[in-house]
Amino acid sequence: MSGLALNNVTKEFGTFTAVNNVALTVPHGTFVCMLGPSGCGKTTLLRMIAGLELPSAGTISLDGEDITQVPTHKRNLGMVFQSLALFPHLTVGENIAYPLRIRGAAKEDQVKRVADLLAMVHLGGYADRPVAKLSGGQRQRVAIARALAISPKLFLLDEPLSALDAQLREAMQVELRQLQQKLGITTIVVTHDQREAMTMADTVIVMKGGEIRQAAPPIEIYRRPADSFVADFIGSTNLIAAEADSAGRVSVLGQAVPGISLGSGMKTATLSVRPEDVHLTAPGDGALSGTVTFVRDLGGTIETFVDMSGQRIVAVSTPRARPQVTVGQPVGVVLQPDVCVVLAK
């Protein structure tokens, strides 16, 4: 297969398993974001792909070649880490040319390549500027250009945008994705920012405790989470305990919900319902009953908190569709079967 393959990769530090039996294929040209809570093993996995850590078990192959034992500098990688590691005493051009220079590229080829790379990251004309005199976003672009200078097979980035302010980070996410699509380079990014992952990735990998919980396109992760952890970690959701009686009729919090099935043989489950899919209505008419406890108007969206038998359900709407409710008011909560994702408990 053309691309990267991790075959049952495990990393142990002493008795602690940081990455546990991870199997993953990343087809050539795809953009993958690894996401998960702190300590879940994202960086360790990336470092093994980079050759900076050796797996305790399993193998890593690139374009069909086993690279598990191949040292970092022979893997043909471009890497950008949070710290960027630019040389502060060199100019922008010298920084970008550095990997070319140590590979012995001719001076005129270096100059041409630097000019092309600078144009690509929207820094044309900056070659002679000292890196110390650049803004955070510009430094980021220089680090990306330097990593791409050798036309790597694999582009690895660890929290590359986390030092930037929110606005610049969002702009750079779009730029990075556009650049990756233009170059068609296989790219793996570690991030803790789910919006970043949703913006850039073809495939989002959600990790927990050293294991992959789900690997899928971003919208599938959002709409069809594999389990409660993924559902709760990506975006916000309402997780509601559901149970089925012997005839398969489903109820939540003691109230019947027609039209939902838990799947064969399942007596209990958790329903994941996104706040934007919770519809509030007048009480009765077969809707579940609840009481409004709080309304949060965030300008662009309005969140309505509803208490249903002790469980808080959050409904989100746009200002145009604002439910006309006040705190303390009884409401009906409609959970359409097609928006309820049934998850094993």
Nearest-angstrom CA–CA distance, 168 and 46: 25
Instruction: Return the beta strands (E) in the chain as ranges.
Output: 3-13, 16-27, 31-35, 57-62, 65-66, 77-81, 154-158, 186-191, 203-208, 211-216, 238-244, 250-252, 255-256, 268-273, 279-281, 288-297, 302-308, 311-317, 330-334, 341-343
Query: What track of x and - describes contact with ligand ATP for positions 180 through 199 (by CB under 6 A)?
Result: ------------x-------
- Should residue 41 be labelled a site residue for ligand ATP when binding is judged by CB under 6 A? yes
- Should residue 24 be labelled a site residue for ligand ATP when binding is judged by CB under 6 A? no
**41 or 290, CB closer to ligand ATP?**
41
Binding segment for ligand ATP (CB under 6 A), chosen from 39-47, 127-135, 233-241, 303-311, is 39-47
Q: Could you give phi then psi for residue 309, rounded to 5 degrees?
A: 50, 45
**191 or 203, CB closer to ligand ATP?**
191
Asked if 106 and 113 touch (Cβ cutoff 8 Å), the reply is no
- Should residue 44 be labelled a site residue for ligand ATP when binding is judged by CB under 6 A? yes
**38 or 167, CB closer to ligand ATP?**
38
- Should residue 15 be labelled a site residue for ligand ATP when binding is judged by CB under 6 A? no
CB neighbour class for 103 (10 Å; exposed up to 12, middle 13-18, buried from 19): exposed
Binding segment for ligand ATP (CB under 6 A), chosen from 41-49, 110-118, 266-274, 302-310, is 41-49
- Least CB distance from residue 41 to ligand ATP, whole Å? 4
**16 or 167, CB closer to ligand ATP?**
16
- Least CB distance from residue 252 to ligand ATP, whole Å? 34
Query: Site for ligand ATP (CB under 6 A): how many residues?
Result: 12
Nearest-angstrom CA–CA distance, 144 and 162: 14
Nearest-angstrom CA–CA distance, 200 and 189: 9
DSSP string, 249-270: -EEETTEE-TT----TT--EEE
- Least CB distance from residue 50 to ligand ATP, whole Å? 12
- Least CB distance from residue 233 to ligand ATP, whole Å? 13
**14 or 328, CB closer to ligand ATP?**
14
**38 or 324, CB closer to ligand ATP?**
38
Diameter over CA atoms, the chain:
78
Residue 340 burial (CB count, 10 A): 22
4, 5, 24, 42: which one binds ligand ATP (CB under 6 A): 42
26, 31, 36, 93: which one binds ligand ATP (CB under 6 A): 36
Alpha-carbon distances, residue 212 vs 20, 41, 101, 209, 226 (angstroms): 9, 10, 39, 8, 11
Torsion angle of C-alpha atoms 279, 283, 284, 289, degrees rounded to 10 = 80
Nearest-angstrom CA–CA distance, 126 and 133: 11
Binding segment for ligand ATP (CB under 6 A), chosen from 38-46, 93-101, 225-233, 235-243, is 38-46
Binding segment for ligand ATP (CB under 6 A), chosen from 12-20, 111-119, 140-148, 177-185, is 12-20
- Should residue 43 be labelled a site residue for ligand ATP when binding is judged by CB under 6 A? yes
- Should residue 40 be labelled a site residue for ligand ATP when binding is judged by CB under 6 A? yes
Give bridge partners of residue 316 from the DSSP assignment.
Answer: 303
List of residues contacting ligand ATP (CB under 6 A): 13, 16, 18, 36, 38-44, 192
